[in-house]
Structure 1
Amino acid sequence: MHLECRFFATYRAIVGQKSLDREFPDGATVAEVLSTLEAEYPDLEAQLLDEDGTIRPQLSVLKNGRDVTHMDGGATGLEDGDSLSVFPPVAGGARGVS
């Protein structure tokens, strides 16, 4: 199946581009795709999934614009033509803003 994988902020810098169009086996899950990407890009290793293969809680991973935590998490199934967006943790902000 064909997927578009989109990366933001530091992950975009690691991958070297905004998005990847890739083929994955039919029926692949979000966790399987993320594991494949970690293996392909060593600087992503252990940043997307924890040692149990669970999506790290500070990440935002969206399937077609919907957060996978509101679906089946890493077990969320993917279909041909889906997009998977991966956002790194966000920190910072301004104090004293009124």
Structure 2
Amino acid sequence: MEWKLFADLAERAGDRHVAVDVEPGETVEDALDALLEDREDLRERVLDERGELRSQLTVLRNGGDVHARGDGLATTLDADDELALLPPVSGG
């Protein structure tokens, strides 16, 4: 499974595309844990002081927000899923 990361998240991870070892049937949270496992700088940016996903970040599964279209981080993964993690978007 691969995560697509954007903006400063990609910089902190060292790449825009990061493969993680998760199997179909595991959850988005499992994939997120695998992403953050050896990336302390990214972990500090993604998780708050309680170890929960920061509210301003968006997690997508196949282009849909997992909190709006699924069971949040408990969303079960399929083999061909695409995951993305986005920081807040601003502009003018």
- How would you bin the TM-score normalised by the shorter chain? 0.7 to 0.9
CA–CA distance in structure 2, aligned partners of residues 25 and 38 of structure 1: 17
Which of 53, 56, 60 does residue 55 from structure 1 map onto?
53
Q: Identity of paired residues, percent?
A: 38
Please report the TM-score for the alignment, with normalisation by the length of structure 2. 0.81
Unaligned runs of 5+ in 2: none
1:16-35 aligned within 5 A: 16-35=14-33
The verdict on how the C-alpha distance between 1:38 and 1:22 changes in structure 2, with shifts beyond 3 A counting, is: closer
The verdict on how the C-alpha distance between 1:26 and 1:39 changes in structure 2, with shifts beyond 3 A counting, is: same
Structure showing greater Rg: 1
CA–CA distance in structure 2, aligned partners of residues 53 and 28 of structure 1: 19
Aligned-CA RMSD value = 1.9
Please report the TM-score for the alignment, with normalisation by the length of structure 1. 0.77
Cα shift at 1:18? 1.4
Q: Find the residue that maps to 2:46 and give its secondary structure.
A: coil
For these two proteins, the number of residue pairs brought into alignment is 91
